[in-house]
């Protein structure tokens, strides 16, 4: 009897171990980075940014490469100018240092192609799969435009207190500046309230709010802010908490 019990135990342990192994092996290897999306202000590269050590690497002004801290090198992303819905595909370059307020660093060429408002360079970055229809469609367009684009002069820009301005005037719509800093969304109101209390206790941030988006979704955010300086200050105030993937969202 004892011998049979021992055999049963060994069989059970062996079966359990195999099941666990198979479960781990068959589990899809899908990381959060594959679903990465972030909305915020981008930093448009200019030589002064490198000279003043605001960014740690130079960027070719004709490059279709985006520099982003959270994504792997050579990943493809869709960059969208949220204010006019123009988009393009870019490759992620190697990681560099740049102010955490910005969600990326881009070249002048990308800014021009997206027709970014230089005083409000608000973009969405979205990681995309290699077999995306959008990628296939835009890849051909980029190949056809490459020779022409390399011969066309890139519009220059100048810098004033990290806010980039075009030297060439354009008819840019006068859209009201109003943004919030999204900290996170929570399933429970109590969890959201605890986050608000933590931010108040550990930072100097102001205008901390909770908003019920819909059932079982509560958003903790800062704002709204009606100018980029106050927005940037509040963003920097919460940097000490090292939250992941904080977003800046237009307050419509």
pLDDT, tens digit, 9 for 90 and up, residues 197-244: 999 999 999 999 999 998 899 999 999 999 999 999 999 999 999 888
- Tell which residue, 84, 117, 90, has the closest CA to residue 104: 90
pTM (2 d.p.) = 0.70
The bridge status of strand 157-160 relative to strand 105-106 is unpaired
> d(Cα 227, Cα 216) in Å, to the nearest integer?
31
With 60 as the cut, is the pLDDT of residue 124 above it?
yes
> d(Cα 183, Cα 235) in Å, to the nearest integer?
10
* Domains of the chain with CATH codes: 32-166 (2.40.40.10), 179-250 (3.30.70.1070)
The whole-angstrom distance between residue 161's C-alpha and the CA centroid of its chain comes to: 22
pLDDT digits (tens, 9 = 90+) for 165-197: 444 344 455 568 999 999 999 999 999 999 999
Using pLDDT thresholds of 50, 70 and 90, give the confidence band for residue 34: low
DSSP letters of 143-206?
HHHHHHHTTSPPPPEEEETTEEEESS----------EEEEEEEESSHHHHHHHHHHHHHH----
With 80 as the cut, is the pLDDT of residue 79 above it?
yes
Put residue 221 in one of left, alpha, beta given phi > 0 → left and psi -120 to 50 → alpha. Answer: beta
> d(Cα 58, Cα 149) in Å, to the nearest integer?
20
């Amino acid at each position: 009897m004892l011998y049979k019990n021992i055999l049963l135990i060994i069989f059970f342990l062996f079966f359990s171990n195999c099941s666990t192994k198979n479960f781990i092996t068959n589990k899809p290897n899908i990381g959060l980075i594959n679903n990465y999306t972030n909305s915020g202000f981008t930093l448009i590269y200019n030589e002064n940014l490198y000279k003043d050590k605001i960014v740690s690497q130079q960027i070719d002004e004709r490059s279709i490469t985006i520099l982003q801290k959270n994504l792997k090198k050579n990943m493809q992303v869709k960059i969208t100018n949220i204010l006019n819905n123009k988009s393009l595909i870019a490759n992620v370059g190697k990681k560099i240092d740049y102010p955490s307020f910005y969600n990326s660093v881009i070249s002048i060429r990308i800014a021009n192609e997206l027709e970014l408002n230089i005083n409000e360079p608000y973009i969405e970055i979205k990681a995309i799969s290699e077999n995306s229809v959008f990628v296939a469609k835009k890849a051909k367009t980029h190949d056809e435009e490459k020779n022409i684009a390399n011969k066309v002069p890139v519009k220059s820009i100048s810098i004033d207190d990290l806010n980039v301005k075009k030297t060439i005037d354009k008819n840019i719509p006068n859209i009201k500046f109003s943004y919030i800093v999204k900290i996170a969304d929570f399933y429970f109101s109590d969890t959201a309230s605890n986050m608000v209390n933590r931010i108040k206790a550990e930072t100097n941030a102001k205008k901390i709010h909770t908003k019920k988006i819909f059932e079982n979704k509560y958003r903790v955010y800062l704002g709204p802010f009606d100018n980029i300086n106050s927005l940037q200050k509040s963003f920097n105030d919460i940097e000490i908490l090292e939250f992941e993937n904080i977003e800046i969202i237009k307050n419509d």
